Amino acid sequence: MIEVVVVRHGIAVDRDEWDEDDFDRPLTEKGVERMEKAALGLKKIVGEMNGVVSSPYVRAKQTADILGNTFDCKVEVVEQLGCGRYKECKALLPTQGRYLFVGHEPDLRQFAAEACKISASGIEPLKKGGALSIKKGPADNWAISWIFQPRHLRSIGNSLVKIAA
């Protein structure tokens, strides 16, 4: 199976409260905690993955590191997943394996729509920490498999934390 799960970065410091370059805007403490729970839920849903590919923006890289730790995968940072570069992402589509792509909204949704040859307006926007799966089918056609918003992923992740405790 060939699959890409796109994940929007977790909750970051608000733009209005950040005086530095947007590239360096990090996740909040709440964003880290919620993303850790969402990552556990995501792992329960998708199982093993071959790798994590991330936008170079700090908040995306932090999210990718959480996913990399949860999935025990290497994180690769690529410029194409940066803000406003979704048209360049098609070249990143794998020819084999299953990967997590971490980036930004609306770029991830536009990337998934382009890969699936549909309109992005028909795809529910991803909230911070949300995920969407696209899978490659016959004749090189990609299709959306599922969308989970972060509250659903955290709910699944929370149930795993309670079981382990």
Provide the 3-class DSSP secondary structure of residue 75. strand
Write the pLDDT tens digit of every residue in 132-148. Answer: 999 999 888 999 999 99
Domain residue spans of the chain:
3-164
The reported pTM is 0.93
Residue 160: pLDDT above 90? no
CB 86 within 8 A of CB 61: no
Provide the 3-class DSSP secondary structure of residue 133. strand
Write the pLDDT tens digit of every residue in 88-132. Answer: 888 899 999 999 999 999 999 999 999 999 999 999 999 999 999
Best CATH choice for the domain 3-164 from the list 2.60.260.20, 3.40.50.1240, 3.40.50.300, 3.30.70.260: 3.40.50.1240
Average pLDDT over residues 65-80: 97
What would you measure as the largest C-alpha separation in the chain, in angstroms?
48
